[in-house]
Structure 1
Amino acid sequence: MIDRDKQSRYPKIDFRLKQESSYNRVSVSIKDSITWFENHDFNSNDKDKNFIRIEENKNQKEWVLMDHKGPGAIVRTWMPFLNAKKPDTDIQIKIYLDGNDQPILEGNMLTLLNGDGFFPYPFAHKSLRSAVSFFPIPYSKSCKITTTKRPFFYQFTYREYPEGTNIKTFSKDEFNSAKKLINNVGEKLLKPTNFSDGQSINLNTTLSASTEKTIELPKGETAIKNLSLKLGSYQNDEIMRTTIIKIKFDGKETVWCPIGDFFGSGIGLNPYQNWHNTVAQDGTLTCRWVMPYQTSASISIENLSKTPINIELNTVVDDYTWNEQSMYFNAAWRGQYPVSTRPFSDWNFVKLKGRGVYIGDALTIMNPVEKWWGEGDEKIWIDGEDFPSIFGTGTEDYYGYSWGGISTDFYEHPFHAQPRSNVYNKLNRKGSNTERNTKGFSTEVRTRVLDVMPFSSSLNFDMEIWSWSDCDMGYGASVMWYGGSNTTSNRSPNNKEALNVPKIENTTTK
């Protein structure tokens, strides 16, 4: 979970990430434009059957939410409050491993997996109106998850290992014996440190309008271990979109991204911290992904705007042993404005071809209306699947919270964050707030460790455009992955769109 070097290498055991969720089961084919975008992703009654089945166990009904046969490991769980304003439930959840008729874990569906129960914070935590856990639960033969009452929304993300993989099944005894390790890892996740032992290369300069500067990094088999950037001024929010970072490794440009999107800040300076990035109050932007290369590398900063900007760039490089599993770091961006919300559609984050591992993304949207914008589900196809093995239940669910229309607070966690959510408040006649809405800019971040997505031939990531209003939105998504020298994407530099920064005051509802 905290081995940064290991993330830059393709997994020795070639697992695939899968997900069980309460997505609407009427969505069976992308060819059916009506059912494909159905939004009823929960269980309001047993006829919905957005779960696997109902079975009897010792005269008690249990709703089966996951039933995976083979070796695997649960690496992320997400469940929301049943009522947006009441963080409680009487639903019990049970996790059965390796065919045992007694659950290895059971308890309240929320508190077992929100940091108040068995798994400690920050591995499990209370998000905005959700319970989220990243604590790994491995199993050698099978995993079944049930609830004692009809479930609401849910997501269980797990690794599926090749048949015959030797996995040690989770046990409470082993959990208790590992508490010192668990505490140490938890402390590091909450207080990530910047790598500083290697060679530091700096660039302090002024970038004139429509110019760029480049620094060459040391030759040889090495890796960027820390990258920090600071601009002279952040008074203009658009500077985070119109300043571009580019990185070449071994002669090939694999990074092209607006800096706000690259560091997860979005439009403007929006401080937050997670395991991989820090956006500090003083404007220092830090990235801790390991970025290896074999012979050469360079970093360029380009100013697309008409205003000069001062930049301070610092990168720390150190030795790295390249082997057949090593991969290059990639980051790309797609922006579009306007994006019509009608008819409903899938908006592609990225399509990748070749071998690699998907590791994270940041989404910045401009919502011109008060109503909620993020009902859309993520749909992720791996290696040419006929149906996405990851089919979500809502955009905010993918980013680790719920009830998005009212969950407009700042939120950060080692692997999820909402650094920015402009909140327009309705006022009553006395000037008091009566309702929050999501008009304005919002930025959502998700980076991955145990829930990375390996692919051997392809990955396709779509997010539904699903707003409650017929309007024109603005979308911008940065995506990050590790890939081989022959791995390609459908993303390319787009200066025109980076300069096309949507303005909330100029928008109207259709």
Structure 2
Amino acid sequence: MAIDIQDSFNFMENFPVLHDLVICRNISAHDKKGGNDNGFTNKAEFIRLIGERTTVQLDAVGPGCLKYYAAFWKNHPVLHPKFIERRQLRRLGKVNFYFDGEKQPQLRTALNEFVGKPPHIYPLALTAEQSTGTNLSYVPMPFQDSVKVTVDGGKTPSFGLHFWYHCYPPGTKVSTWTEGQDLADAPAHFHPETAWKPAGPAVHELDNLKIKPGETHDVFGSDQAGTIKCIRMSLPQEDSVLRNLWLKAWWDDDQEPSMESPLSLLFAIENRYANYPKRKRKINEQAEMRGVIIGQDPDGLFFLRLPMPYVKGARIAIENKNEKEATIAKVRIESDQQVTPGLGKSAGYLRTQFRESHDLTPGRDYLMLHVKGRGKIAGVVLAVEETHENFLEGDERIYVDGSRSPAIIGDATETFFNGSWYFCEKAFACPIHGAPTFRMKSRLGGDISDITMYRFHPTEFVPFRSEARFSIQHGGFNEEPGHYRSLVFYYHLPEPSMFQTDYLNMSGQDDLSAHGFSGPAPVNIRKRDGFFEGEFNGQDIGTKKRPWWVAPIWWMLYWTFIGGNRHVPPEDSPDKVTFAVAEHDGPYEFKAKIDPEAQAVMLRRVLDQSVFDQRARFEVDGIHAGTWFNTGNNKWKIFAEDDLILDPSLTRGKKEITIRVVPESKTFTAAEYAVFSIKTPT
């Protein structure tokens, strides 16, 4: 299998295509203790230390591709005057990228100069000024064997790097990144002006659409195959009306709508027209909607520009849930007769999931998506109101395929939406992310009146094979009340492609014998109590009642820098789990049952991640099938569940395989292995 790194830029053609053999992972500055010290002190928000100050921020084995890079430092225009920013940048020094085991970095540059040099230029990359405090790039950086990123002064406080990257199965061929990489065709796909042009040759228009209360009005219908490319509307400028006008869309054999959303979230304009007295809002901003997936064109039409394919037919309707008649001045739907190849088998339908909560649960995340089946997460719009500004401390978590460890774990709401320092207290809108509505009661330390955010993932999409769960904290400890409304976009098919075919308990003698286990006895088998990272990490600070006389932001700061460092989860925490962990320093092997019709096999291992830098070579029937490398460690949340897809060429057509594990580190830990067959329709 070969990977064309430019395919994902052309999201208008390729977004519906599913990727069952791709695993998405990320690196962030999240607090490993489970608290909110996300890059502030920078004591442990890196993989390892080289010398006194140089940090390894990313260390991964290939084949794979970096899909997203972001950096933040002390660059708030008010909190951090330029002389403070310059001093910190001098301490941070250079960021260094090593590919495929290179001794010298192929790319070495100052953090604030990474963006601005081709190919890391607009619209594929944005400066901290353009993206409210975050330098970021969507330029893909593929690697065949490995990638490592270091920062000369990475132990400097108030600093963090983010990476989202895709891991491909062994045997996949990629062309490792070079500075001369040709991306000439890529920028047009991300440029906002591209979205101003018709997205398809067929245009269906309705003018002056009036919908009475309780009525549903069809705005598009087809009984042939095709793809809707763009939905544009000229909308009433009244927030309450937009919240109660709902778009519904059915594809092919749908009994229920695949898409069902208030127009205010569909176009990321919730609260844009809210009627707040200016004297009660120190900050009251609405950014110009210059997006390429959602935005506003020069004719004033708001648009949603994503491929929505169908084979048998489609129907789109708008329901008026208001108590009065609503008027939409124009509806324009652009489509063509092309259909994504493999729709219903290797490509999915666009769906949305709307969720809302006035009553957030202390200590638990706000859930934005939970779906069974296979697909990929494509984007999210989140609107928050009636809360305090430090809700933005909340981390995002994405779990896939039933894993107890999040595949994606972030370090703040504003950094997930590609800003930092509370978006520097301003609204902004970029090609695929932004916070276009931003209102705050006071300049610093005040209440957020409302903020609407969006981010799409055309390149760094998150695939799932059996289920996905996408949540976000409301505050750094899930302590903030508020009103959350969200809309997640995803491509989806209802049937899973991943099935468990075997399981091995590494401390159960009967289980080991049944799987033909052979090899030296483990160095140790330790029964340990502990927690996984993520939402269920035992952290109960969010359930503690804040004294009325303590401002929310000071309560958050106390637990972030003082109380949280001393606080430990309660002994009776329902999140606590127990495993008997086997520690090996020599090779061992076992047999595993698999589906002979499977496209590939995935192993899932529970490990003790308090053990540093675990690495092992995995063989299938005596042939190298992959390298498992768990970098760094976490001595606070000691358990992790990690996945490895084996070389598909070594597992196809077999009912049983012999898996040999050859540790390449001092210790390689495993409490259990689950074996999954990935079987995708053809």
CA contact (8 A) 2:71 2:135 kept: yes
Q: Does 1:135 align with 2:139?
A: yes
Q: 2:373 matched to which residue of 1?
A: 354
Deviations 1:126-161 (A, max 9, x none): 221121111111110101011111152221111111
Instruction: Tell me what 1:82 maps to.
Output: 74
Distance across 2 between alignment mates of 1:415 and 1:216: 26
Alpha-carbon distance between aligned partners in 2 of 1:287 and 1:182, rounded to the nearest angstrom: 20
Tell me the equivalent position of 2:512: none
What is residue 38 of structure 2 aligned with on the other side? Answer: 41
Question: Which residue number corresponds to residue 346 of structure 2?
Answer: 325
1:280-319 equivalences under 5 Å are 284-311=301-328, 312-319=330-337
**Aligned equivalents of 1:198, 1:162: Cα separation in 2:** 38
In the alignment, the residues of structure 2 paired with residue 471 and residue 169 of structure 1 have an alpha-carbon distance, to the nearest angstrom, of 44
1:100 aligns with 2:131: no
Q: Which of 481, 485, 489 does residue 480 from structure 1 map onto?
A: 489
Q: 1:263 aligns with which of 247, 255, 267?
A: 267
Spell out the pairing of 1:401-440 with structure 2 (5 A cutoff): 401-404=419-422, 407-425=424-442, 435=444, 437-440=446-449
Runs of 4+ in 1 over 6 A off after TM superposition: 467-470
Question: Residues 287, 387 of structure 1: CA spacing in aligned structure 2 closer, same or farther, 3 A cutoff?
Answer: same
| Cα distance in 2 for residues equivalent to 1:412 and 1:462 | 23
Match of 2:169 in 1: 162
Query: Which residue of the partner structure matches residue 244 of structure 2?
Result: 242
Aligned residues: 455
Residues 253-290 of structure 1, C-alpha deviations (whole Å, 9 max, x = no match): 20011011011112335551212112358752211101
Look up the SS of the partner of 2:458 in the other structure.
coil
The question of whether the paired residues in 2 share the 8 Å contact of 1:367 and 1:373 is answered with: no
What is the CA-CA distance between 1:191 and the residue it aligns to?
Answer: 3.7
Aligned partner letter, 2:105: P
Residues 291, 432 of structure 2: 8 Å contact kept? yes
Change (3 A) 1:364 1:122: same
Kept in 2: contact 1:94–1:105 (CA 8 A): yes
2:16 alignment partner, one of 1, 4, 8: 8
Task: Please state how far the C-alpha of 1:408 moved relative to its aligned partner.
Answer: 2.2
Q: Which amino acid aligns with 2:435?
A: Q
Task: Render the CA deviation track for 1:413-451: whole Å, top value 9, x for unaligned.
Answer: 11111110013236xxxxxxxx47452110011011111
Q: Relative to 1, partners in 2 of residues 1:182 and 1:477: Cα closer, same or farther, differing over 3 Å?
A: closer
Any residues of structure 2 matched to 1:174-253 within 5 Å, and which? 174-175=180-181, 178=182, 180-181=184-185, 184=188, 188=191, 191-204=194-207, 205-231=209-235, 233-234=236-237, 236-252=238-254, 253=257
| Letter of the 1:81 counterpart | W
Q: Secondary structure at the match of 1:330?
A: strand
Which structure 2 residues correspond to residues 451-470 of structure 1 after superposition, within 5 A? 451-466=460-475
Instruction: Tell me if the contact between 2:36 and 2:477 (Cα under 8 Å) persists in the aligned partners.
Output: no
Q: What's the CA shift for 1:64?
A: 0.6
Q: TM-score, normalised by structure 2?
A: 0.63
Deviation at 1:21, TM superposition (A): 1.5
1:444 counterpart = 2:461: no
The answer to whether the 8 A contact 2:64-2:166 is kept is yes
Query: Residues 470 and 479 from structure 1, CA distance in 2 versus in 1: closer, same or farther, beyond 3 angstroms?
Result: closer
In the alignment, what sits opposite 1:17?
24
SS in 2 for 1:476: strand
Pair 242,469 (structure 1): closer, same or farther in 2 beyond 3 Å: same
Give the TM-score of the pair, scaled to structure 1: 0.83
Residue 377 of structure 2 aligns to which amino acid in structure 1? Y
- Secondary structure at 2:18's aligned position in 1? coil
Structure 2 spans left out of the alignment, 5+ residues: 1-8, 274-285, 498-550, 553-682
Q: Structure 1 residues 283, 345: closer, same or farther in 2, change over 3 A?
A: farther
Equivalent in 358, 364, 372 of residue 337 of structure 1: 358
Give, as a single letter, the amino acid of the residue that structure 1 aligns with 2:123.
P
1:325 positional shift: 1.9
Q: Does the Cα contact within 8 Å between 1:190 and 1:414 map onto a contact in 2?
A: no
Quote the offset at 1:345 in angstroms.
2.1
Distance in 1 (alpha carbons) for counterparts of 2:253 and 2:367: 28
Distance 1:49 1:467 in 2: 17
* Pair 1:55-2:50 in alignment: yes
Root mean square deviation, CA, Å: 2.5
Distance 2:177 2:354 in 1: 39
Deviation sequence 1:57-81 (CA, Å, 0-9, x none) = xxx8531111101211111112112
Cα distance, 1:486 vs structure 2: 4.1
> Does the CA contact (< 8 Å) of 2:426 and 2:438 recur in 1?
yes
Structure 2 SS opposite 1:192: helix
The offset of 1:184, in angstroms, is 4.9
Structure 2 counterpart of 1:357, which letter?
A: K
Deviation at 1:245, TM superposition (A): 0.4
Alignment correspondent of 1:503: none
SS state at 1:374 partner: helix
| In structure 1, C-alpha distance between the alignment counterparts of 2:53 and 2:451, rounded to whole Å | 41
Per mean C-alpha deviation after superposition, the further-off stretch among 288-297 and 86-95 is 86-95
SS in 1 for 2:390: coil
Residue deviations 1:156-180, cap 9 Å, x none? 11111111210100012x32xx264
After superposition, the C-alpha distances for 1:379-408 in whole angstroms (9 at most, x for unaligned) are 11111222112110000000000000x622
| Structure-1 separation of matches of 2:145 and 2:193 | 33
* Contact 2:364–2:478 (CA under 8 A) maintained in structure 1: no
| CA positional deviation for 1:118 | 6.3
Query: C-alpha separation between the residues in 1 aligned to 2:67 and 2:479?
Result: 37
Structure 2 CA distance, aligned partners of 1:281 and 1:486?
41
Following the alignment from structure 1 to structure 2, what is the Cα–Cα distance between the partners of residues 317 and 183? 23
Partner residue of 1:171 out of 178, 184, 194: 178
Letter in 2 for 1:211: E
Q: Which residue of 2 is the match for residue 377 of structure 1?
A: 395
In the superposition, relative to structure 1, how do residues 394 and 368 fare at CA in structure 2: closer, same or farther (>3 Å)? closer
Q: Would you say the 8 A contact 1:238–1:268 is kept in 2?
A: no
AA at the equivalent of 1:218? S
Higher alpha-carbon deviation: 464-473 or 299-308: 464-473
Contact 2:26/2:163 (8 A) holds in 1 = yes
- Structure 2 CA distance for aligned equivalents of residues 367 and 283 of structure 1: 29
Rate the CA distance shift 1:134–1:319 in 2: closer, same or farther, 3 A: same
Indicate how the Cα distance of structure 1 residues 423 and 76 shifts in structure 2: closer, same or farther if over 3 A, else same.
same
**Secondary structure, aligned partner of 2:195:** coil
